[in-house]
Amino acid sequence: MNEDLTEIGVEAKIYGMPPSVGAVRIRSLGTAERVRNGLAKFGTFLGIALVCVFFPIVHLVLVPLSLMLGLHFAAKTMRVRGRIVSGSVPCPECGEPCLLDAKLAQWPMTADCAGCRRHIGIGPVETGKPSPR
């Protein structure tokens, strides 16, 4: 098991509000784990395609569409190199900490504030120096 953790700063943004800054700890994913995540994503779309087979006429569009979307999102998921272990960022609107854990570190991400129910856009803090990838 690959257990090297890195801590990075994240920035929460809501339109019209000054951004707030928090930190998350990210565990690097090994190649096997990234492939497994991608296959799980493709499996979801394969399941949707199999269900769509039973709908006459529309299956001509939905089955190939589901499979193509499955390939697209599986490739996108396989490119994600880390999983957030723990961390939070305060909501720019109300200051309630928004917990980010057990998510793939896929930027930008969104979360909903538990306090004010606002939709928050979350991304890594731009420091100007290249991120260690």
Instruction: Name which of residues 2 to 61 contact Zn ion (CB under 5 A).
Output: none
Token pair 């720019």 is found at: 92
In this structure, what token pair is assigned to residue 81?
Answer: 């190199």
Q: Taking each helix axis as running N to C, give the angle between helix 59-78 and helix 31-52, from 0 to 180 degrees, rounded to the nearest 10.
A: 170
What is the pattern of x (binds Zn ion, CB under 5 A) and - over residues 76-95?
Answer: ---------------x-xx-
Kindly indicate which of the ranges 21-29, 77-85, 107-115, 121-129 contains the residues binding Zn ion, using the contact rule CB under 5 A. Answer: 107-115
Pick between residue 24 and residue 52 the one whose CB is nearest to Zn ion: 24
Under the binding rule (CB under 5 A), the answer on residue 113 touching Zn ion is yes
Residue 99 Cβ, how far from Zn ion at the closest point, in Å?
12
Closest CA to 30 of 1, 52, 56: 1
How many residues bind to Zn ion according to rule CB under 5 A?
7
CA atoms within 13 A on the CB side of 89: 32
Phi, then psi, of 63 in degrees rounded to 5: -65, -55
Under the binding rule (CB under 5 A), the answer on residue 96 touching Zn ion is yes
- Per-residue DSSP letter, 81: -
Q: Rule CB under 5 A: which residues touch Zn ion?
A: 91, 93-94, 96, 113, 115-116
